[in-house]
């Protein structure tokens, strides 16, 4: 199963907009955007103006979703609500192609991305906060080695989130992925 990651380009934004519009993604991303809205929100990330790094997930050469990472020191107010230290990073992802859901690609993409991209930087841990009701996402994070720390409700949101964490010191490299 070949998974790879490449930096997102402006030419990917129509595909991102399509993915964001699909029911299995839209349910958790809460901000329906037309193409102009996607360009306005995600273009600055692609251009390096905002400190979130966006990548396209590819499976056997096919773009199947996206994954992004950021340092919590750049989002201090959100980090404080999670209890994430400034040296930690956050990761968000979505598989856009519904025909590939339920095959373990989300957890495998998380593991590989954290191993190859996020932990290649000076990052102490990865702390994320998927919605409590998003059981598919929570399962993928747990399969990737994350531990649930607690449940919180972010200021201004009407739903609960699970704070989950993967410490660099406890991260075990999957031998099946070394050198691939």
In this structure, what CATH number is given to the domain that contains residue 152? 3.40.630.30
pTM: 0.88
The yes-or-no verdict on residue 50 having pLDDT over 60 is yes
Lowest-confidence segment of 8-12, 18-22, 70-74 by average pLDDT: 18-22
pLDDT at res. 176: 46
Which 3 state secondary structure label does DSSP give 162? Answer: strand
Q: How confident is the model at residue 180 (pLDDT cuts 50, 70, 90)?
A: very low
Residue 126 belongs to what domain range?
A: 3-177
The yes-or-no verdict on residue 175 having pLDDT over 90 is no
State how many domains the chain has.
Answer: 1
Integer-rounded Cα radius of gyration of the chain:
15
Averaged pLDDT, 91-96: 89
How far apart are the C-alpha atoms of 54 and 40, rounded to whole Å?
14
- Cβ-contact 91, 123 below 8 angstroms: no
Q: What is the mean pLDDT of the chain?
A: 88
The yes-or-no verdict on residue 20 having pLDDT over 70 is yes
Phi, psi of 173 (to 5 degrees): -70, 130
Across the beta sheet with 3-7, what order do the strands follow?
Answer: 3-7, 52-59, 62-71, 89-95, 125-128, 161-167, 147-152
Residue 128 or 176, more confident: 128
């Amino acid at each position: 199963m070949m998974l790879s990651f490449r930096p997102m380009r402006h030419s990917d934004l129509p595909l991102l907009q399509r993915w964001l519009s699909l029911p299995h993604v839209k349910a958790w991303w809460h901000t329906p955007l037309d193409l102009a809205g996607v360009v306005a929100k995600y273009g600055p990330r692609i251009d390096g103006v905002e400190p979130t790094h966006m990548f396209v997930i590819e499976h056997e050469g096919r773009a199947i979703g996206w994954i992004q990472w950021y340092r919590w020191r750049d989002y201090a107010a959100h980090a404080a609500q999670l209890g994430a230290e400034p040296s930690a990073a956050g990761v968000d992802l979505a598989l856009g192609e519904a025909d590939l859901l339920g095959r373990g690609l989300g957890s495998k993409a998380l593991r590989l991305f954290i191993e190859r991209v996020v932990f290649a930087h000076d990052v102490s841990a990865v702390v994320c906060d998927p919605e409590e009701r998003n059981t598919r996402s929570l399962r993928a994070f747990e399969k990737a080695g994350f531990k649930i720390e607690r449940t919180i409700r972010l200021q201004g949101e009407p739903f609960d989130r699970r704070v989950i964490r993967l410490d660099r010191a406890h991260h075990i490299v999957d031998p099946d992925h070394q050198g691939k």
